[in-house]
């Protein structure tokens, strides 16, 4: 990785006197065999000569933003430069591929209207219909939410999102923020989205796994927006710190498909980390999105209180399971006991993440075994699809069930 950086620095030297004009952010994936190869210095020298012929007075000055290494296997460099440089870099022997650093966003709203609750109550009656629904086979059943007594104890969920307001009393001191890749913002949640998601995963009142440890990995800003490179940096942190078989990642985010994020997710899964993701709120094909299209994650669509597919939920064969995602009550950020009610596949995914944490609390499992466990236990045939949507016939009719 250091030598690739030296190569790019050579480009910087050539144009160091030029003023930075409009460029784009790119993610370069470096070929594993190129790192440390005997001829790597010669390759970089030839690259210098090649790039030096491209410099004009209008050239953008290339900038290295970050270097990302996932499990000492995937090496990325995040840079900013003009497209002409990108086209030449793609042809270099050290580069596997180069792609734009595309935007990602939260798959739930970032509302301006907020509300606050009074003192938190007990779990005698679940305050969110989603908890009751995943605990019952029928939508009209109103029995209390049931969950194992260990409630996910010993399991860590990394919430890759906008951060967590760890001061909210519903978390009982089990939540913290451990990583932040958003420039110019503090670690805590300024949007509310990550706190709401975390509350559904593991809040004392609104959560599925009420004893799980929640760790905020901030990759989205106060408006719920970020770049793929932010997410890659967050995954780099998780892979360096997780305990395989006892770790779940929740990603209630979505964007256009990108190869770099897809590769990173596959690598994380191979390291024994279970990843649950939102299908996306496009109403279209989840196979066109990242992270929802990855075959090694559990992709979650959203349903409403009548078991209808939410109108916004992405569909298709890349969706593995559905969870409650309309009018979901959970924790918020305006006080240490605030709540809010939101819609989105962002709200559906944490229900399934909570179920995953409950299962891992019983016994460690590999991601494939865990996902098979969850999907085989799901309630089948309950979801009502739009018959006029051609994607409906491709989508599994499986509604999450907590197996208790």
Can you read off the two tokens belonging to residue 189? 């949640």
Give catalytic status of residue 161 as yes or no: yes
Residues carrying CATH 3.40.50.200, the chain: 106-399
Residues pairing with 399 in the sheet:
322, 379
The pLDDT value given to residue 117: 38
Give catalytic status of residue 346 as yes or no: yes
Give catalytic status of residue 351 as yes or no: no
Q: How far apart are CA 299 and CA 359, in angstroms?
A: 17
The pLDDT value given to residue 126: 74
- pLDDT tens, residue by residue, 79-109: 777 777 777 777 777 788 888 989 999 976 6
The pLDDT value given to residue 335: 94
Residues carrying CATH 3.30.70, the chain: 24-101
Catalytic residue among 161, 221, 304, 343: 161
Count of beta carbons in the 10 Å neighbourhood of residue 288: 15
The pLDDT value given to residue 119: 31
Catalytic residue among 135, 346, 351, 402: 346
Residue 330, classified by CB atoms within 10 Å of its CB into exposed (0-12), middle (13-18) or buried (19+), is: buried
Q: How far apart are CA 316 and CA 299, in angstroms?
A: 10
CA-based nearest residue to 12, from 58, 68, 52, 57? 52
The ranges of the chain with pLDDT < 50 are 1, 4-21, 36-41, 43-45, 48, 55, 112-124
Dihedral sign, Cα of residue 3, residue 5, residue 9, residue 11: positive
- The correct CATH number of 24-101 out of 3.30.70, 3.30.1380, 1.10.8, 2.115.10 is 3.30.70
Q: How far apart are CA 291 and CA 283, in angstroms?
A: 15
The pLDDT value given to residue 95: 85
For residue 25, the SS3 value is strand
- The answer to whether residues 308 and 289 touch, using CB atoms and an 8 Å cutoff, is no
The pLDDT value given to residue 29: 87
Catalytic residue among 92, 128, 193, 221: 193
Q: What homologous superfamily does CATH list for 106-399?
A: Peptidase S8/S53 domain (3.40.50.200)
Count of beta carbons in the 10 Å neighbourhood of residue 202: 31
The bridge status of strand 225-227 relative to strand 103-106 is antiparallel
């Amino acid at each position: 990785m250091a030598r690739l950086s030296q190569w790019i620095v050579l480009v910087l030297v050539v144009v160091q006197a030029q003023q930075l004009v409009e460029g784009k952010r790119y993610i370069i994936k470096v070929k594993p065999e190129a790192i440390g190869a005997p001829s790597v210095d010669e390759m970089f020298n030839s690259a210098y000569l090649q790039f030096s012929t491209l410099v004009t007075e209008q050239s953008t000055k290339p900038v290295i933003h970050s270097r990302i290494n996932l499990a000492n296997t995937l090496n990325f460099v995040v840079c900013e430069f003009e497209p002409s440089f990108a086209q030449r870099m793609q042809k270099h022997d050290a580069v596997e591929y180069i792609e734009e650093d595309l935007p990602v966003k939260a798959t739930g709203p970032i509302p301006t209207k907020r509300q606050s609750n009074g003192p938190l109550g007990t779990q005698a009656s679940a305050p969110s219909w989603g908890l009751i629904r995943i605990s019952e086979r029928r939508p009209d059943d109103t029995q209390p939410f049931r969950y194992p007594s260990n409630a996910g104890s010993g399991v860590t969920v990394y919430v890759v999102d906008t951060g967590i307001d760890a001061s909210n009393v519903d978390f009982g001191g089990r939540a913290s923020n451990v990583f932040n890749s958003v420039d110019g913002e503090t670690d805590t949640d300024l949007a509310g989205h990550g706190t709401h998601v975390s509350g559904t995963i593991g809040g004392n009142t609104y959560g599925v796994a009420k004893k799980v440890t929640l760790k905020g990995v901030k990759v989205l800003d106060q408006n719920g927006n970020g770049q793929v490179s932010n997410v890659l940096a967050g995954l780099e942190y998780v892979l360096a710190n997780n305990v395989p078989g006892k770790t779940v990642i929740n990603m209630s985010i979505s964007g256009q498909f990108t190869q770099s994020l897809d590769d990173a997710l596959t690598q994380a899964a191979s390291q024994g980390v279970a990843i649950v993701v939102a299908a996306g709120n496009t109403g279209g094909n989840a196979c066109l999105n990242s992270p929802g299209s990855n075959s090694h994650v559990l992709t979650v669509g959203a349903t409403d209180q009548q078991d209808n597919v939410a109108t916004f939920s992405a569909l298709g064969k890349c969706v593995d399971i559905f969870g409650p995602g309309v009018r979901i009550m959970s924790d918020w950020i305006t006080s240490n006991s605030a709540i809010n009610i939101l819609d989105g596949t962002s709200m559906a995914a944490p229900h399934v993440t909570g179920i995953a944490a409950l299962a891992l609390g019983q016994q460690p499992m590999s991601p494939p075994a865990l996902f098979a466990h969850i999907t085989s236990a799901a309630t089948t045939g309950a979801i009502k699809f739009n018959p006029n949507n051609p994607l409906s016939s491709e989508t599994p009719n499986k509604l999450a069930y907590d197996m208790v």
